[in-house]
A and B are shown apart, each in its own frame.
Chain A
Amino acid sequence: MPSGTADEDEPLSAYKARLHNQNTTKPLIEQVSNQWKEKDSDTEKVPYYAEDDTRELGFCDLEDDGSCPNVSRDIVSSRRFRRMFAVTLLAALLLYYAWKHLVAPPLEEDWAYKEGFVAQENGTYGIAKGGRDIDPDLVRLQDLDKRLLPGGEADVEGKRRLVFVGDVHGCKEELVKLLKEVEFDENSDHLVLVGDVISKGPDNVGVLDELIRLNASSVRGNHEDRILQVARSAHNTLSSTSSKGHAKDLALLKQLKPRHIEYLRSMPLMLHIPSLPQAAKPTHKKDSPISEHILVVHAGVVPGVPFSKQDPYYIMNMRSINRRTHVPSALHASSKNEKPWFDVWGWYNDRIFRKQSLKHFNHALQPTDYEAEEDNRAWTSLWKNFWGERHARPKPQVVIYGHDSKTGLQIHRWSKGLDSACVGGGKLTALVLNAKGKWETKSVGCKNYRG
């Protein structure tokens, strides 16, 4: 028997005495008996739980202090935890609302716009032949005469200006007043009209004579188009055309001399103005100088569709575009996917301007988009060889148009809508552009000729 172990038969006093003796002679460590090692306990062999599937219950066992419900109760009852929980919940909610109301909508908008530009399984606008070739007399695209370009080769000093004027509709008095207001100089300024110079107003012939005299450029508007179509089909005696508009068109047609018809016929569908060589640096703001090339049309253009595939009818009549299919409409936007055409146009040009990716976009480079590339052809081919693809990007473009008197003056970064409802008693508006690309709008009041 090892020393220091209690003998059951030994009386307590003797044991105490023996202990005392031992304590004085041996280090304490030797008194450790380690009796438990010798005990051959049965209970250790029996598992705490019977070996069946109830073992997993341990986690949820209420008897066990470490089980989930008990731990949870402890945690939940802790004040610190409650505070932390509330803060986390609040943060999550805030994040959710920030996502839902601030981050997601512009992203979704962006996606919705983008969808219209990437190739779609069921096609997109511009594939059908449509009205592309409908009028053999129509000049589709004309470049502004180089000699008229502010800051161009013929204007090294940059004295020339371009004066763009909204829908005149036969309001000659107002046109003359407006030209006076912008101090129009016949020698150094060039007048550009956005179409609808005739119909509705008091002096159509007077307006045409004035424009011919000033050698002004105009694009074809829906009213010029209508009168020219009437001229083509007027010989048919079996027509049943009794509309008031048609009667007015016929009456106007009778007043027009061959030189007027010729002038109307010479109006192109689109007038292209190359970028101004002396223009100041552009910004993304809507009052930025116009240093990009300009397209003048009567109503609007479908972005991403080559000029040759644009339907003339919509160039002269569109007001909205379905952002998914890019099919235009002559009506104002009325559903979620229909947008004012200039919104879609603006989105596209913003993206080009900000040099954002156009990957997967339908490639619709316009012939005029290549003008800059021609100078750097060597560069382009180097680029091409290096990256294995052509990095020609469309260039941003500003559209100047009219047609939409109901919406009125619309000045955005990539589109300038100048129809401010002159013939209905609104204003006649001019946008004056100088060689630096700086521009301003000026208006004069009009009499109401429709009332």
Chain B
Amino acid sequence: MADFESVRTRLETSYVNPEEDHPYKYFHESTFHPHYDGRFGDRILKYDEQQAHLKALIQTYLSTMNSIGAETWLMHGTLLGWYWNRKVMPWDSDLDVMVSEKSLHFLASYHNMTMHSFKLPGQKRTRTYLLEINPNYREGEVDEENRIDARWIDTEIGLFIDITTLRRNRSADDEEAMMVKDKHHYMLDDIYPLRDSTFEGIPVWIPYAYPDILSEEYGQEALSGTNHEHHRFDAERQTWIPQKILDSKFDGDDG
């Protein structure tokens, strides 16, 4: 991870403890939460704040990738959020995207450590995001310490997107077996051809067999169940509502 002094923004001290991690691990988590970068963040944001920052995080990432032409698509929890209502799920604190091997090489060659500033609607200050590539990206083996190939980081508060790469599974006989360094396996034809859609209002690519990928990773209930993580899906408003609000509404009607 680039050292604190050379990338620091507003913080005086770093909330990272690299000594505690494996010596070859590149990206480190903050001392206060695994989904914050301790070089930029010093606290866990509140529910609403975090949601707004994550939305801006994925919007800026997707529009940057669209404009520089790198191929990226949604995966894991972020894909599940897309499936339900084209939005980040409010209880999520991280985002997952995937890139092709070619795109990663392209990003590493021309865009590593670039800063991208955005003036977002409704925000007075510009926000700056950092694209940082893991120097171990060339090694194609399963590597638990360096499973994240790159990060898109909000340099104001430290939230980030994990970027992983879809690679040829060189240990499999089948040429079409693909893998990611976090040991997830996919068939190439489940990912390609990518489909176009939108996410948080920005054009995005989606894996071809998106519901199969989701039900394999999260179970079939993830596609039908309306209760998740203390939230309930409101079918008419197409949005996740926290159980707390539902309960308080119920009490209000009662009294």
Using a CB–CB cutoff of 8 Å, the interface residues on chain A facing chain B are: 121-131, 133-135, 226, 229-230, 232-234, 236-246, 249, 311, 313-314, 317, 322, 325-327, 329-330
Contacts and interface: CB of A to CB of B under 8 A. Distances in A.
Contact of A129 (B84, B103, B193, B225): B84
Given A125-B224, A239-B102, A244-B175, A311 B192 contact: no
B233 A246 contact: no
A314 B211 contact: yes
Given A326-B224, A327-B220, 4 more contacts: A122-B224, A239-B192, A243-B176, A245-B176
Contacts of A127: 224, 226, 233, 235
B223 A241 contact: no
Contacts of A130: 83, 211, 223
A239 B178 CA distance: 14
Instruction: Give the interface centre of A121, A129, A232 by most chain B CB atoms within 10 Å.
Output: A129
B210 interface: yes
14 contacts: A121-B227, A122-B225, A127-B224, A128-B85, A128-B224, A234-B193, A240-B101, A241-B192, A242-B176, A313-B210, A326-B224, A329-B212, A329-B220, A330-B212
A243 B176 CA distance: 6
Contact of B175 (A237, A239, A242, A327): A242
Contact of B211 (A233, A242, A313): A313
Contacts of A128: 83-85, 223-224, 233
Contacts of B85: 128-129
Interface string B201-226: 00001101111100100001101111
B71 A246 contact: no
Nearest to B192: A241
A239 to B, nearest CB: 6
- Report whether over half of chain B's contact residues are helix, strand or loop; otherwise say mixed: mixed
A239 B227 CA distance: 36
B55 to A, nearest CB: 17
Given A123-B233, A243-B189, A238 B175 contact: no
Contacts of B223: 125, 128, 130, 325, 327
A121 B166 CA distance: 38
Contact of B189 (A123, A129, A245, A313): A245
B195 A134 contact: yes
A133 B198 CA distance: 10
A242 to B, nearest CB: 7
- Among B175, B208, B225, residue most surrounded by chain A Cβ atoms (within 10 Å): B225
B106 A325 contact: no
Given A130-B223, A327-B224, A230 B101 contact: no
Contacts of A322: 220
A404 B220 CA distance: 21
Given A243-B189, A246-B193, A226 B208 contact: yes
A19 to B, nearest CB: 98
B71 A238 contact: yes
Given A123-B227, A129-B85, A240-B100, A313 B175 contact: no
B67 to A, nearest CB: 13
A325 B176 contact: no
A353 B235 CA distance: 30
A96 B214 CA distance: 44
A129 B227 contact: no
Contact of B106 (A229, A238, A243, A326): A238
A69 B30 CA distance: 81
B113 interface: no
Contacts of B126: none
Contacts of B84: 128-129
B76 to A, nearest CB: 16
A238 B100 contact: yes
B71 A239 contact: yes
Contacts of B206: 134
Contacts of B224: 122-128, 325-327
B69 interface: yes
Nearest to B212: A330
Nearest to B219: A327
B196 interface: yes
Contact of A123 (B220, B226, B238): B226
